[in-house]
Chains A and B, each alone.
Chain A
């Protein structure tokens, strides 16, 4: 993008409907627009309520490039605050989590604040008596984000004071989070330990797109999944299968498997793979679990919950959840060519520990910086990030199984190898960047 003061039409021109300009992955100017508009106007994942269970508990993270604090206020509500002292800008909290008691106290000049951000006290306050401090934004305290909403324990925030509502933004896509929580006999999830943190030298959107890219597993992961199968066969195909065979081998499923699994897209950039079945369908049953689910929900409802085998659900702009294994990946942008991937796991409250053990195993086998499957993926992203610097071609192709009549404002279910969800994401990307931009220069 050339313009010094980009306009909405400059941004719209980066997505032709079937192709996307490489600047969306490489340009610092585009990245700045994402931070100033997309991550301000959209509802962005912050954390899970169980990360801050008690009053005064806090946890620090980022919304786009904005440092924020999730904190449990004295009234029991979750607040999300900008992590910046209103005085000199010092970060109020730098540890990843902790408990601040009844108030935050800035470590620099001891301005103190209630856990909803309101200013509590300033030392030697008489020094401000004859100043216009009372007329400033700063005197109000630590600034809260525009809006906060928790759904089944998952906390989302919108930085902008005004904008699209939570329910309108997510719509029926919340069914994936609901299914993940419903898999607990108590209907609740709790975070299990710290997340894996894996640094990627690529644009954050490559990771989001890869979540519904069903034509790469059997190619990029042949080195891991294919080798697993050949070792297992060499051993005489022993049953029960080694853990790695359960978790990694399904990546080698044939194209037909992925075509038939289906992809569903929802308005505003959300979508999921695994409408009909998924690589998580054949996980072995855990003794006692179905019985506990039946006791809570009745047999019919329990079956309905467990028959849902959605694979990856993308919540635009930058998280993915896996309902059947209670996992969430947060793709946090750190620059046009740098992304922090945090991979969380959750315990199904009142379910057998074996389920959590499998979830933890999946996380380390697939999402860790030490994961062979992670190595396969990262290699592709980083090669793409470098390849896109080529001036030979400017456009990236996302035409697979495209039809003339795609309307992203309605829900659709299609062949599991369509790139419709990628197009759906870029449609939402343009919408939520340009909604707060000037139309023309």
Chain B
């Protein structure tokens, strides 16, 4: 099945919406189970393994992260955080039979109680088509100020 540019762009927007609406079960279902969510610590970092990243998480870790958010004894989520992504139209940098790469600028706001912060970021998605559906193979999130000191970032930018 041929995937159109519009389908790819709609997919990126829909993923951000799932995160903002905290529909994590549906969000996890977008992922291929061997994928990684990578958030580098250093500007233009190339190595996810032998230096520290903010996140380099496999499917188990992502599942743990989102299940924890609703736990009865998850005190850092009592009360809960909320988030909002404002995203620019994705660039489709690569599109072949089964390999799609998009680059998307986003502004991400996270809030809890009286605190709110803004992050600017670039999300790079590697997508695959499996059984006629788009899935996330890998996702890299580069925060504009990844090397700055942060308080807790509890949800998913």
A380 to B75, CA, bound (A): 8
- Interfacial chain B residues near A193, Cβ < 8 Å: 41-42, 50-52
- Interfacial chain B residues near A29, Cβ < 8 Å: none
A197 to B153, CA, bound (A): 12
Report the nearest B residue to A347, measured CB to CB. Answer: B50
Taking the closest CB of chain A, its distance from the CB of B50, in whole angstroms, is 5
Report the nearest A residue to B71, measured CB to CB. Answer: A223
- Whether, in the assembled complex, B147 has its beta carbon less than 8 Å from a beta carbon of chain A, the answer is yes
Contact present for A227 and B71 (CB under 8 Å): yes
Of the listed stretches B10-18, B58-66, B92-100, B130-138, chain A binds: B58-66
- Whether, in the assembled complex, A220 has its beta carbon less than 8 Å from a beta carbon of chain B, the answer is yes
Contact present for A227 and B51 (CB under 8 Å): no
Report the nearest B residue to A353, measured CB to CB. Answer: B50
- Whether, in the assembled complex, B24 has its beta carbon less than 8 Å from a beta carbon of chain A, the answer is no
Pull 18 A–B residue pairs with CB atoms less than 8 Å apart, ordered by A: A194-B52, A197-B148, A197-B149, A198-B150, A199-B150, A223-B68, A245-B60, A343-B52, A347-B50, A360-B49, A360-B51, A361-B56, A364-B54, A369-B54, A369-B150, A374-B152, A376-B76, A379-B75
- Whether, in the assembled complex, B73 has its beta carbon less than 8 Å from a beta carbon of chain A, the answer is yes
- The listed residue (A227, A231, A357, A370) touching B153 by CB distance below 8 A is A370
Taking the closest CB of chain B, its distance from the CB of A133, in whole angstroms, is 39
Query: Which of B42, B63, B68 is packed against the most chain A CB atoms within 10 Å?
Result: B68
- Interfacial chain B residues near A376, Cβ < 8 Å: 75-76
- Whether, in the assembled complex, A62 has its beta carbon less than 8 Å from a beta carbon of chain B, the answer is no
- Whether, in the assembled complex, A384 has its beta carbon less than 8 Å from a beta carbon of chain B, the answer is no
- Whether, in the assembled complex, A242 has its beta carbon less than 8 Å from a beta carbon of chain B, the answer is yes
- Whether, in the assembled complex, A222 has its beta carbon less than 8 Å from a beta carbon of chain B, the answer is yes
Q: What does DSSP make chain A's interface, helix, strand, loop or mixed?
A: helix
Contact present for B50 and A375 (CB under 8 Å): no
8 Å CB contacts to B: which residues of A374-391? 374-376, 378-380
- Interfacial chain B residues near A215, Cβ < 8 Å: none
Q: Please report A residues at the B interface, Cβ cutoff 8 Å.
A: 192-201, 220, 222-224, 226-228, 231-232, 242-245, 248, 340, 343, 345, 347, 353, 356-357, 360-361, 363-365, 368-370, 372, 374-376, 378-380
8 Å CB contacts to A: which residues of B53-106? 53-56, 58, 60-61, 63-65, 67-68, 71, 73-77
- The listed residue (A200, A201, A227) touching B64 by CB distance below 8 A is A227
- Interfacial chain B residues near A231, Cβ < 8 Å: 60, 63-64, 67
A376 to B73, CA, bound (A): 10
A223-B73 CB under 8 A given contacts A197-B149, A369-B153: yes
- Interfacial chain A residues near B56, Cβ < 8 Å: 361, 364
A361 to B53, CA, bound (A): 8
- The listed residue (A195, A222, A364, A375) touching B152 by CB distance below 8 A is A375
Q: How many residues of B contact A (CB 8 A)?
A: 33
Query: Which of B50, B58, B148 is packed against the most chain A CB atoms within 10 Å?
Result: B50
A204 to B56, CA, bound (A): 28
Contact present for A345 and B153 (CB under 8 Å): no
A242-B152 CB under 8 A given contacts A224-B68, A228-B64, A363-B52: no
Sample of 18 more A-B contacts, CB < 8 Å, known A364-B55, A368-B53:
A192-B52, A194-B42, A194-B51, A194-B147, A196-B54, A197-B148, A197-B150, A198-B151, A200-B151, A223-B71, A231-B67, A242-B58, A243-B58, A244-B58, A347-B50, A369-B152, A369-B153, A375-B152
- Whether, in the assembled complex, B122 has its beta carbon less than 8 Å from a beta carbon of chain A, the answer is no
- Whether, in the assembled complex, B127 has its beta carbon less than 8 Å from a beta carbon of chain A, the answer is no
- Interfacial chain B residues near A201, Cβ < 8 Å: 151
- Interfacial chain A residues near B147, Cβ < 8 Å: 194, 197
- Whether, in the assembled complex, B39 has its beta carbon less than 8 Å from a beta carbon of chain A, the answer is yes
Contact present for B54 and A370 (CB under 8 Å): yes
- Whether, in the assembled complex, B111 has its beta carbon less than 8 Å from a beta carbon of chain A, the answer is no
A201 to B67, CA, bound (A): 26
- Interfacial chain A residues near B65, Cβ < 8 Å: 372
- Interfacial chain A residues near B60, Cβ < 8 Å: 231-232, 242-245
A232 to B63, CA, bound (A): 11
Taking the closest CB of chain A, its distance from the CB of B140, in whole angstroms, is 14
A379 to B80, CA, bound (A): 12
Report the nearest A residue to B39, measured CB to CB. Answer: A370
- The listed residue (B52, B64, B67, B151) touching A360 by CB distance below 8 A is B52
Contact present for B73 and A226 (CB under 8 Å): yes
- Whether, in the assembled complex, B22 has its beta carbon less than 8 Å from a beta carbon of chain A, the answer is no
